[in-house]
Amino acid sequence: MINRTASALTNDDRPVLDPFLTPDAAGFDGLRLAEVPFVPELCLHLAEDAIVLRARLEAEVGGALPPPFWADAWAGGQAVARYVLDHPDVVAGLRVLDVAAGSGLVAIAAAVAGAAAVTANDIDPYALAAIRLNAHANGVTVDANRGDLLDGDGDGAEVVLAGDVFYSESMAERMLSFLQRAAKRGARVLVGDPGRAYLPHDRMEVVASYQVSMMGAAEDAQIRHAYVLELFG
């Protein structure tokens, strides 16, 4: 089990850090580099305590911030990452988009599995910094893309991956439309989800079901299953 503190990173790691997440920043002190429970081949900078981390980052910037979703490996993301690593043919040699990437876990798994090019997209600037940091920690190249792509169709990606994106009604609505457009233009669309309330499971087919325990965010401690689902165009 890797459980190094983030401050143990060498100077070589520092150029990839964003100004938001420098080794001296309060937020960075609250992260640890750890093995991902369901994907132990990979490691991520995860929050020691997401609530404390958020409070420290807010104190640092002097204002409210969204929850640091990028500092947890969500159950749905872990499921897709596991699936991609176990079925590298899904992404090998292809252009992959990980939408709402958070830590970049899914994107990193795709890069390790042999994708030709991987883009990890998120709207949270801290997530972008975390994606760069985590890609570097795993020795892969991922293009961290900031912005809201959900009104598009995935910009030519041949595979679109989405981990744990159906956690609110408004996000689920926009995400489903986005993924449907991507699937309609021919992209393969895979979603990881532990069965959240807003998962549109009637529109998808389960391709893998995993029994899991104690993985992801603290509030997900009760989760016992995580699924990978395919959306067809």
Ligand X SMILES: C[S@@+](CC[C@H](N)C(=O)[O-])C[C@H]1O[C@@H](n2cnc3c(N)ncnc32)[C@H](O)[C@@H]1O
Q: Which residues pair with 231 in a beta bridge?
A: 189, 204
Query: With binding defined as CB under 6 A, does residue 26 bind ligand X?
Result: no
Closest separation between CB of residue 98 and ligand X, Å? 7
- 74 binding ligand X? (CB under 6 A): yes
Of 25, 5, 19, nearest in space to 132 by CA: 19
Q: How many residues bind ligand X (CB under 6 A)?
A: 25
Token representation of residue 116: 């030709």
Strands 204-211 and 225-231: what pairing? antiparallel
Contact between 139 and 109 under an 8 Å Cβ cutoff? The reply is no
**73 binds ligand X per the rule CB under 6 A:** yes
The type of residue at 149 is L
CB of 111 to ligand X, least distance (A): 15
Determine the interface stretch with ligand X among 9-17, 54-62, 117-125, 197-205 (rule: CB under 6 A).
117-125
Using CB under 6 A, which of 102, 119, 154, 199 touches ligand X? 102
Determine which helix (DSSP H) or strand (DSSP E) holds 226, and give its type and residue range: strand 225-231
171 touches ligand X by CB under 6 A: yes
Q: How far is the CB of 10 from ligand X (least distance, A)?
A: 26
Is position 187 an interface residue for ligand X (rule: CB under 6 A)? no
Contact yes or no for 192/179 (Cβ under 8 A): no
20 near ligand X, rule: CB under 6 A: no
Token couple for 132: 């760069």
Q: Provide, rounded to whole angstroms, the least separation between the CB of residue 36 and ligand X.
A: 9
Under the binding rule (CB under 6 A), the answer on residue 194 touching ligand X is no
Q: Which residue's Cβ lies closest to ligand X?
A: 77
Site string for ligand X, 130-169 (x = CB under 6 A): ------------------x-x------------xxx-x--
Residue 100 CB, shortest distance to ligand X, in Å, is 3
Q: How many CA atoms, within 13 angstroms, populate the side-chain half-sphere of residue 214?
A: 0
Tell me which residue of 149, 131, 151, 153 sits closest to 140, measured CA to CA. 131
Asked if residue 122 binds ligand X (CB under 6 A), the reply is yes
Q: CB within 8 A of 7, min separation 6: which ones?
A: 23, 28, 29
Q: Does 103 bind ligand X (CB under 6 A)?
A: yes
Distance CA 18, CA 13 (A): 11
- Where on the chain is the footprint of ligand X (CB under 6 A)? 69-70, 73-74, 76-77, 99-103, 105-106, 121-124, 127, 148, 150, 163-165, 167, 171
